[in-house]
Structure 1
Amino acid sequence: MLTDKMMEDAEMAALRKKIMESTEHELRFFNMAVIKERWTGAGVNA
């Protein structure tokens, strides 16, 4: 039998996992954009 506290903890864990996954994906996308910007910037300056 699950208590309200256990249900709450499970929901928080699932939410935290979802946030971590989406943040990781967004960071990877952001990093790619920054790197691309650096490359084009370096190419222009060179």
Structure 2
Amino acid sequence: MTVTERKDCLQCHMPATLADLELKHKHPGKWRDERVSCLLCHAAPKPR
């Protein structure tokens, strides 16, 4: 899988999981903003 956009990340990283991490203060709430790319903080996985 080639990850280039936020929607690509959310295929595997489910919103419920991110919300749980947010409650545990392990992930910022910025993931909810569709204008913010996950790739600003996280590196895209390398193609296999």
TM-score (norm 2): 0.28
Of Structure 1 and Structure 2, the greater helix share is in: 1
Question: Which protein shows a greater Rg?
Answer: 1
